[in-house]
Amino acid sequence: MTVEIAGKLVFTCLVAWAAIHDLLTLRIPNRLNLLIFAAFVPVAALTGLSAEALVSHAGAAAALFAICLALALVGQLGGGDVKLISGIGLWLGFGPALLQFLTTGILCSVAFMLAMVLLRIAPVALPARLLSIGWLGEAAYGTTPIRKLEGPYGVPLAIAAAVAIWTQ
């Protein structure tokens, strides 16, 4: 197995872990985001990433952090999502993979939001075990207005990140 494939596997596992944690708790722990950033360092070193490529990767992370921080400050993203997106940007760098991540991420997020709306307007009987996941029970049967519902954006972000890294 090459270092590049091993790195992609590690990255995919880490973003999947973030998605699962976000799905269950609506939180992405700082230690997990730190692992995503830290795991990039040995992969970049072992694959011989050039200085120019490192600048591209760091620049993508910084740009995404700045944009997403602005969104978080107006209440559109959580802090964990901001750091997760920035970490994904570090792995992808500027280029087609980042564009694919952003496009797929938007599409997956819209699909996820539509699913939450559909769950509210046409509720289905959900098993008690699923209803114990707070945001899911609220989305299905709660009184919070649809426009104010919170959801685990880590899930569509992880899907988009996996698609982007494996198709580059």
Q: Based on the structure, what is the number of domains in the chain?
A: 1
Could you tell me the pLDDT band of residue 1, with boundaries at 50, 70 and 90?
low
pTM, two decimal places = 0.91
User: Which pLDDT score, from 0 to 100, does residue 121 have?
Assistant: 82
For residue 93, the enclosing domain spans 3-166
Separation of alpha carbons 58 and 126, rounded Å = 43
**Residue 150's pLDDT band (cuts 50, 70, 90):** confident
CB neighbours of 147 closer than 8 A, spacing ≥ 6?
none
Mean pLDDT across the chain: 92
Nearest 10 degrees: Cα torsion 40, 108, 20, 88: 10
Q: Residue 68 class from Cβ within 10 Å (0-12 exposed, 13-18 middle, 19+ buried)?
A: buried
- Which pLDDT tens digit goes with each residue over 31-51? 999 999 999 999 999 999 999
Q: How many residues does the chain have?
A: 168
